[in-house]
Amino acid sequence: MRLFRSNIFLWCLGIVLAVQVYLSFEIPVAGSFGDAAMLSMSGVQDVTPVKATLVSVDSGFARFSDLYGDSGRVYVTDRSYGTYKSSRPGDVLVMSVAYDRSAKGFDLVEIIRENPAITFPMIQGLGELGRNMLFHVPMSMVAFLAFLLGTIYSVLYLVKKNHDYDRRARASSAGGFLFTALATVTGSIWARFSWGTFWNWDPRETSIFILLLIYAAYFMLRSLLEESEDKKARIAAVYNIIAFVSVPFLMFVVPRITNSLHPGGGGTEAPLLNLSGKTHTAPSLGIMFEISTLLFFIVFLWMKDLVTRILRIHDKRAEAL
Amino acid sequence: MSSWQAVLRKDLRVEFRTRYGVSAVIMFLLTTVAVILYSTPGERLQPSILSALLWISLFFGAMTGLSRSFVSEEERGTSLMLRLYANGESVFIGKFVYNLLLMISLAISALIFFEFFFTKDFHVRDWSAFVLQLVLGAIGIAAVSTILSALISRASQKGALLPILALPVLMPLVIATTDATRIALEVPNAVANAQGDLLILFSFDVAMVLVSYVLFDVIWRD
Amino acid sequence: MDFLEHNALYVVGIISAVIWFGLFLFMFGVERRVRKLEREP
């Protein structure tokens, strides 16, 4: 592709990518006072980040407009009383608070951010782990697109018999394999902190494992064949197309109808990829998710382009010998 | 007589003469059942385990029997003749139907073995669902192994390539059939309960048969 | 230690950004080598 020959474009991509990755961690996750009370009462965590608008600071406590019942007061402790002094009524504060069950109020632990431009929502049961939605989900989406692209190139090869399509198919499938592996690793880390273990053969984990096996078999087939280049390319293209038939089943169908802990399993609606085509998450996270997907996809396209060109040089040298 | 029937008749005649496919598959099944019986004396086997065992033996039985269809043509040196006398379409349909028949006979013998050897535990509660998923599973396995067998017969190393290539591709089908078998062993009205599995099987079969039918010509034409 | 614990989000963010930027630099290096090879006859 032409675009990747431009150094300016590549540097922009690199810098935007780094900024996006940094922001994915830097933007604070904040819920409501209701979240904080619920998490504390259910024993999940005592201290929760909360986002609310400051109404007034009296001698005893501060009032916020995001009220939880009639007990939506943040008690100002001696230690942190001074921190409110810089904030004026009307300021939006992100602060970590602890629920005080006996007083039915909240103790301020610390102020995290004043008037933040953007915050991530507190997702039920995820908290800070929700940030992984900006890595794990885009990676698996890019992986699917890569396999789709690889299959399209395989079909094009069989139709046009141009070896360049074969190289592109190989490069796309390799990129898809890499992104599937990355999605597996990030998913496994997520599972460790959400479900308790790195790997427990949840239907979703089983299907991604089989997906990796399919493409491992594809590359193995390719390396085991000792035929002419034409024949090799034809056999590999046919296998690639057959293999892709089971990819949608593994990625979308089987984990959706079986009982899975993964969102979207067992008939529940997944928050980002679902049949109704809606995104069930706050717009801030949704936009960051879309930017992430786009950036990872461009990175994949660049990788595909690089591998294709390396293969082209390789084949050219083999021909010259 | 259309030409795919000729291919089918030829294959059946070769099979009756050598009985290679059927005997290999039956030996495989017997060995599997014997190993299971030996290692679980007097134990109650749950439907989930029985369905997994049934499909493990069916899958690998299919891999030993069905992989022969094109490799044997290459080994006997008859593939060139076949290519001269029949077009790709009729070869594919003939071989596919032959593989399907072999697969169904394998499924029937596996069913008889399981009914006979696991009398205590193996009770099919819903025969209509059980037969339906068995037939759908057989169609999918036959389609995939026909095209992949043709694929590896063109390669120089044929040996153990088929199970490695076929296992991951067939995995969605094996997962769905295993689940459907478990449901048919557990509850009486299994068709309604295993609806999702049957739907997966049906769509997988349709997609696989169509794709392998279209792609077969590419491999067959040299 | 207290500093790291307090600013964990920034620290993790910077580390991940550096890793991704490193990947970018690696790919950029490959890109330049490929371009050089492509220019060869």
ipTM confidence: 0.89
For chain B, residues with pLDDT lower than 50 are none
Q: What residue of C is the nearest CA neighbor of A27? A: C9
| Cβ contact C27–A306 (<8 Å) | yes
Q: Is the pLDDT of residue A80 over 60?
A: no
Higher pLDDT, A303 or A104: A303
Contact B161 A224 (CB under 8 A): yes
Contact of chains C and B by CB distance (3 or more pairs under 8 angstroms):
no
Chains C and A contact (Cβ–Cβ under 8 Å for 3 or more pairs) = yes
How far apart are alpha carbons A93 and A32 in whole angstroms? 11
> Each residue of A197-212: pLDDT tens digit?
898 888 888 889 999 9
pTM, rounded to two decimals: 0.89
- In A, residues 14-33, which contact C (CB 8 Å cutoff)? 14, 17-19, 21-26, 28
Binned at pLDDT 50, 70 and 90, residue A70 comes out as very low
Residue A219 pLDDT: 92
> For residue A240, is pLDDT > 90?
yes
Return d(Cα B142, Cα B149) in angstroms, integer: 10
- Tally of CB atoms within 10 A around B13: 10
Sign of CA dihedral A119, A123, A125, A128: negative
Q: Return the pLDDT at B205.
A: 95
Residue C11 buriedness (CB in 10 A; 0-12 / 13-18 / 19+): middle
Q: How far is B206 from chain A (nearest CA, A)?
A: 10
Chain C residues near residue A3 by CB distance under 8 angstroms: none
Read off the tokens for A174: 């390799």
List chain A residues with CB under 8 Å of B171: 207, 210, 213, 246, 250
Structure tokens given for B163? 């199970």
Q: What rounded mean pLDDT belongs to chain A?
A: 84
Which helix or strand (DSSP H or E) is residue B203 part of?
helix B195-220
Q: Which residues contact C40 (CB under 8 A, 6 or more apart)?
A: none
Q: How many domains does chain B have?
A: 1
**Tens digits of per-residue pLDDT, A47-60?**
888 888 887 777 66
Where does the pLDDT of residue C29 fall: very low under 50, low under 70, confident under 90, or very high at 90 and above?
A: very high
Instruction: Tell how strand A29-30 and strand A120-121 pair up.
Output: parallel
Residues of chain B with Cβ-Cβ distance to A229 below 8 Å are none
CB atoms A213 and B219 under 8 Å: no
Strand partners, A106: A74, A99
Over the stretch A10-44, which tens digit does the pLDDT of each residue have? Answer: 999 999 999 999 999 888 888 888 888 888 888 87
Mean pLDDT of A167-187: 94
Q: CA torsion sign, B7 to B10 to B13 to B14? A: negative
**Number of Cβ within a 10 Å radius of residue A311:** 18
Which chain C residues touch A22 with a CB distance below 8 Å?
A: 13-14, 16-17
| One-character DSSP codes across A105-159 | EEEEEEEEEES-S--EE--TTTGGGGGGGGTHHHHHHHHHHHHHHHHHHHHHHHH
Residues of A in contact with B165 (CB under 8 A): 217, 221, 239
Rg of chain A on CA atoms, in Å = 25
Q: How confident is the model at residue C30 (pLDDT cuts 50, 70, 90)?
A: very high
Q: Which residues on chain C are in Cβ contact (under 8 Å) with A309?
A: 34, 38
Question: Residue A280: is its pLDDT beyond 70?
Answer: no
Residue A216 touches chain C, beta carbons under 8 Å:
no
Residue A303's pLDDT is: 94
* CB < 8 Å to C31, chain A: 4, 10, 302, 306
The pLDDT value recorded for residue B159 is 63
- Strands A105-114 and A61-64, by their bridges, are unpaired
User: Are the Cβ atoms of C18 and A306 closer than 8 angstroms?
Assistant: no
Rounded CA separation A91/A297 (Å): 38
Which carries the bigger pLDDT value, residue A141 or residue A280?
A: A141
Check B147 against A238: CB less than 8 A apart.
yes
- A vs B, Cβ pairs < 8 A, gives 88
pLDDT of residue A179: 95
Parent domain of B99: 3-220
- Structural domains in chain A, CATH included, are 30-117 (2.40.50.140), 127-320 (no CATH)
Nearest CA in chain B to A251: B172
Q: Is the pLDDT of residue A261 over 80?
A: no
